[in-house]
Amino acid sequence: MALLEVESLEAGYGKKTVLQGVSLRVDEGEIVSLLGHNGAGKSTTLKTILGLLPARGGRVRFAGEPWASGNPVGNVRRGIALVPQGRGCFPDLSVHENLMLGAYTRVDRAEISRRLDEIFELFPILAERRSQRAGTMSGGQQQMVAVGTALMQHPRLMMLDEPSIGLAPVLVQRVLETAVKVNRRFGTAILLVEQNIRTALEISQRAYVMKSGAVVLEKPAAELLASQDSWWALY
Ligand SMILES: Nc1ncnc2c1ncn2[C@@H]1O[C@H](COP(=O)(O)OP(=O)(O)OP(=O)(O)O)[C@@H](O)[C@H]1O
Ligand SMILES: [Mg+2]
């Protein structure tokens, strides 16, 4: 069943139009990659879906219901989370304090504490270092903190914007395995933006390729993996 349905989405900054009619879909429990060269509009797509940027046209439905443009808090409550590009955690706060920031839309204390335990169980390193300042952890661990913070929101869809950026190649795989773990443990659907195309496709069921603010290709990930040389050069 479709969880996120984006149809002809338009958005931009000031006079500049960036998204010129983006259409894509993420099914319940699915992992989908959103690929494309620098400046194609991937981050703008994720920001508009969350509502950080108002849509200028098009329609989005989430969990079968119309979604609100330009309403990030409302969309977080509905179950959409974004781990933004770049440092997704607050370096001066402890791991625990970072995670608790993710619970800002939740009110049930018992539920918050249960969720925290689940996240610590999934990522034991975060439990070990719960009192440590996030900024003193490795890049890969900070990314885990960012993912954990998003998970505190109980998302049905987690959007990850280049989670492996700036990490050593050996860590890229590990960070993307984090996404798989989350997907398996909580059934969270994932919309993944990644420059490491091969690794991203390996964990995805389907992928979209964007160019100049529009989706130009949609295929099963396995098909794209088998023919990467022939399509990537086109975009
Ligand atoms: N805050 C902003 N103000 C004005 N223009 C912006 C802003 N953010 C992005 N843009 C422009 O929008 C276009 C798409 O940018 P976006 O960040 O969505 O691309 P991207 O596909 O995520 O690229 P990258 O792979 O480099 O992260 C680019 O031309 C960029 O210059
Ligand atoms: Mg980007």
Domain spans in the chain, listed from the N-terminal domain onward = 2-232
CATH architecture for the domain at 2-232 = 3-Layer(aba) Sandwich (3.40)
Residue 216, both tokens: 């130009």
> What ligand has the least distance to the C-alpha of 52?
1
| DSSP three-state, residue 77 | helix
Neighbour count for residue 109 (Cβ, 10 Å) = 9
CB of 213 sitting under 6 A from ligand 1: no
pLDDT, averaged per 10 consecutive residues of the chain (235 residues), comes to 97 97 98 96 97 96 92 94 88 96 88 94 94 93 93 95 87 89 95 94 96 95 85 72
Q: Give the pLDDT of residue 105.
A: 83
Distance 111 CA to ligand 2 centre (A): 33
The residue contributing the CA closest to ligand 1 atom 10 is 13
Distance 96 CA to ligand 1 centre (A): 32
Distance 202 CA to ligand 1 centre (A): 26
> What ligand has the least distance to the C-alpha of 208?
1
First-last CA distance in the chain: 30
Q: At what angle do helices 109-122 and 169-186 cross, to 10 degrees?
A: 140
User: 19: Cβ–Cβ under 8 A, 6 or more apart, which residues?
Assistant: 9, 10, 11, 12, 41, 44, 45, 48, 213, 214
Distance CA 72, CA 157 (A): 14
* φ/ψ of residue 136, rounded to 5: -95, 5
Residue 191, both tokens: 């919309």
